[in-house]
Structure 1
Amino acid sequence: MTTHTAPAFDPARVAHLSGRFAPVTEEVDATGLAVLGELPDGLDGLFLRNGPNPRFSPIGSYLYPIDGDGMLHGVWLSGGRARYRNRFVRTPAVIAEERAGRALWGGLQSMITPSEPDVFPELAGTFRDLPDINVVRHAGRLLALAESDCPFRITPDLATAGRETFDGALPAGITAHPKTDPLTGELAVFCYAFEPPYLTWAMLGPAGTVTRGPTAVDGVDRPMMIHDMALTARFVVLVLAPAFFDLAAAMEGGSMIDWRPERGTRIALIPRDGGPVRWAADDAFWLWHTVNAYDRPDGSVVLDYVQWAHLTLGAPDAAAPPNPGGLTRAVLDPAAGTVRRTALDDAPVELPRVDDRLIGRPHRRAAVAAESGRVDLLPGEFDALRWYDCADDPGASVLWPAGDLSVGEPVFAPSAGGGPGYWLTYATDRTDLSSWLLVIPDADPGSGPMARVRIPVRVPLGLHGSWLPTED
């Protein structure tokens, strides 16, 4: 039994459930992975990525990249050798569905929830946890992250330890994209909600304790979707695009997101010392991901990000207006409340990353997943990597076309012995669906991979991950 009748839904017709995006169900351990080229000795740690991967064939609906159970894909690198492990993030919903042998919850658009006796009483009528977007480590905690909900704590061998509320101090959860200040070790987080206060922020100290509990962001009068954030030495930066949740429409089969461009986009500059929020306003635009932000000596704030004209989710809509975007720089004046935006490049890119050691400080380079010009790629699929100069010649870039490979988010890995470091990403060959871990030198990224590690199972495309150096 379910609380709603499942609408007509054919998973086979959902592009993000097939081919390079298709979920995998087998959990695999493998050592002595085959390597083409040579792994550098300076790589000693774990490359770990999370992403949506339904445990069972979805019912009701499936909306990429929001829906799906989390699956972690990890490659441990040390001494020029590699081993692999993948594991589901075993939330209560995943455990219940494994017990039933089928999907019990529908996708977010369908609003299908299970009832007794299919699930235990405490799960009846609830929505599933979705810690399927990102994975980070802070103060020894390895966290699988959801879209503004409680993360799930993960053990070093990728087992699921349970929901993480930070000793009860953050019971509503955190964002999928927290930011760690590399100088102070603090972790900045935010969380949006469907009831007041609609938006809060918080800080965790370097030891993992909550040093500032959930603090309301004044001036937010409706629930709205905010995917990412940025951090500077002075501010927590939140971009509030006009993407408002409409649960009433969703319950009637409509869209759960109401795009209201007439409301414009506002940017909250939240002083980390707890001072009043400074607001800057501009015409409407959407961003999924920030690149980085930093303070200038004149008091202004630089925010680099990937801009889109409006929010889109799931498969493309032929009737939707064009959605141009690209790498963009905004200069924010906290005193005047103004935004000055400059398009650095209009090439279609996403999943931007910098060297995490530069978060909140000026960055010289940003890496993104990009397109080479093919016309047969799905939304969220990329077949090239691009590196932008963000310092000397902002917008200048180097492109590496990946050929038959579809590539994911590039993540920077410092060399344990010093030196330029490396960019890591998973890639899947469109000709045979084999998956690889690519290792690309930061000193010459346009030359492409110096090593390719063969992954024993296909790694579905998307979403986010981290390089986790071996801890002493």
Structure 2
Amino acid sequence: MKRRKFLKASGIGLGSALVAGYVFDRFGSFGTKENYYLQDNYAPVETLITEDKLEVVGNIPKDLSGLYLRNGPNPMGSINAKKYHWFMGQGMLHGVRIEEGKAIWYRNRLVGSDSYGPNTHVVSHAGKTYAIVEAGGQPVEIDKELNSLAADPFYGTLETGFSAHTKLDSKTGELHAMCYDYASDFENVHHLTVGKDGKIKSTQAIALPSKSMLHECAITENYILVLDLSITFSFYKLGRGYFPFSWNDDHQARIGLLDRSGNSSEVRWFNINPCYFFHTVNAYEDQQGNLILDAMRYERLFDEDWNGPNSEFSPQLTRWTLDLSSGIANERQLDDKPAELPRMHPELNGQFYQYGYSLGVSKNLQPDFGRIIKYDFVKDRSEFYELGEGKMGAESVFVPS
């Protein structure tokens, strides 16, 4: 199957066009299924607008200037509600230009020129901004007005798929990504390093027969982490026209450590309890010979709910301690408040850190992302701020002072 045809069929974060399924599926041949990922605040935005001279309620710090951007799937046109998955649909950018305490404009724009525009995240590196997605979709460069540019990503040096989330090493200025493109390479994933000049510096293939869904990665001083967790590629779902990743009880969840120096392609694996996490907070190596990883852990997902991640178990902030001497991983829940989309000081990626932030939810199985949580990992405590009724947050952006 050709790569483009495969991506269109699978709908891996790239569009809502899917292959025809069997006559009967788990919801019946003619039945309907309520899909709350198409309702209320999750509903697609149908119009593109530009608004200037925005009213500011409260105050924006006068020394804060720049462009706030978010990206997310926004299916346009006819939608099969029963089979629609929250991760599908063309990317839509939302941007607010801020200058010296004033909100200059808001606008939203679709990413790319067709329904396959990357729909997950935006990243700036070496003077360029890209809309990005995992599973083979190519990054699209975005200008300061939110227009999509017809240019090869990373100066034409990208030869593989890319990632939904990257990690910047502030010490080296290099950007790291763990990438997969099972349409082109069904056996391997790739660790990519993007140099300070914005070009791909190295590409390292890693055998991964499980075909896991690698939404992001983590780095430490000496390692990049390979997150081979309990969500794997599913031909069963693909053949029925659904998002083609599923919970897999038969796969041993594990965390792999790959030497960042590039001197070895061997991955050292640590088995962990079945789980999945889309987002890590941070990872680092401590002075006791351990590697610490903090992430938002799901007990189970993509099993009963084929439309998205929210209705089975709520994510919880969890810490894994990998003993580099014994090869054993220990797990501990750090906080009991359901939360997702964590962030921390970007210059501390891969290093010891004290504070982290996330969006908390008050409704476990239909999250409203209505609170901001701050974690103190040294004092082992957290506090939160409620946004107020009818208000939902987006992924936080940490602006160093």
Cα shift at 1:13: 4.3
Task: Give the alignment's TM-score, normalised by structure 1.
Answer: 0.72
1:269 is aligned, of 247, 257, 260, to 257
Q: Distance in 1 between matches of 2:142 and 2:332?
A: 40
Task: Give the alignment's TM-score, normalised by structure 2.
Answer: 0.84
Unaligned runs of 5+ in 2: 1-16, 24-28
Cα shift at 1:261: 2.8
- Answer yes or no: is 1:48 the counterpart of 2:36: no
Q: 1:459 aligns to what? A: none
- Answer yes or no: is 1:307 the counterpart of 2:297: yes
Q: 1:216 aligns to what? A: 205
2:273 is aligned, of 283, 290, 296, to 283
Q: 1:39 aligns to what? A: 60
- Answer yes or no: is 1:27 the counterpart of 2:48: yes
Cα shift at 1:315: 4.9
Q: Distance in 1 between matches of 2:71 and 2:226?
A: 23
Distance 1:237 1:70, change over 3 A: same
Partner deviation per Cα, 1:295-345 (whole Å, 9 max, x = no partner): 223332111111111233655799x8x635411111113343221111111
Cα shift at 1:15: 1.6
- Answer yes or no: is 1:137 the counterpart of 2:124: yes
**What is the count of residue pairs matched by the alignment?**
371
Distance 1:44 1:252, change over 3 A: closer
Amino acid aligned to 2:335: D
Amino acid aligned to 1:332: L
SS in 1 for 2:60: coil
Contact 1:11 1:58 in 2 (8 A): no
Q: Distance in 1 between matches of 2:181 and 2:325?
A: 28
Cα shift at 1:273: 0.3
Amino acid aligned to 2:206: V
Q: Distance in 1 between matches of 2:198 and 2:53?
A: 35
Q: 1:184 aligns to what? A: 172
Contact 1:69 1:88 in 2 (8 A): no
- Answer yes or no: is 1:88 the counterpart of 2:109: yes
Q: 2:13 aligns to what? A: none
- Answer yes or no: is 1:296 the counterpart of 2:286: yes
SS in 1 for 2:149: strand
- Answer yes or no: is 1:152 the counterpart of 2:140: yes
Amino acid aligned to 1:384: R
Cα shift at 1:198: 2.5
Distance 1:46 1:314, change over 3 A: farther
Q: Distance in 2 between matches of 1:136 and 1:317?
A: 24
Alignment identity in percent?
30
Partner deviation per Cα, 1:264-284 (whole Å, 9 max, x = no partner): 211111111012322211221
Q: Distance in 2 between matches of 1:47 and 1:283?
A: 37
Contact 2:38 2:81 in 1 (8 A): no
Q: 1:71 aligns to what? A: 92
Distance 1:411 1:255, change over 3 A: closer
Contact 1:293 1:301 in 2 (8 A): yes
Q: 1:414 aligns to what? A: 400
Cα shift at 1:3: 9.0
Q: Distance in 1 between matches of 2:166 and 2:30?
A: 34
Q: Distance in 1 between matches of 2:317 and 2:393?
A: 18
Q: Distance in 1 between matches of 2:240 and 2:71?
A: 32
Cα shift at 1:263: 2.5
Q: Distance in 1 between matches of 2:98 and 2:224?
A: 34
Amino acid aligned to 1:341: E
Q: Distance in 1 between matches of 2:113 and 2:332?
A: 45
Contact 2:86 2:307 in 1 (8 A): no
Higher deviation after alignment, 336-345 or 244-253: 244-253
Unaligned runs of 5+ in 1: 95-128, 416-472
Higher deviation after alignment, 241-250 or 228-237: 241-250
Cα shift at 1:11: 9.7
Q: 1:403 aligns to what? A: 388
Higher deviation after alignment, 185-194 or 158-167: 158-167
**Pairing 1:194-343 to 2, within 5 Å after superposition:** 194=182, 195-213=185-203, 215-218=204-207, 220-253=208-241, 256-274=244-262, 275=264, 276-312=266-302, 315=307, 323=313, 325-343=315-333
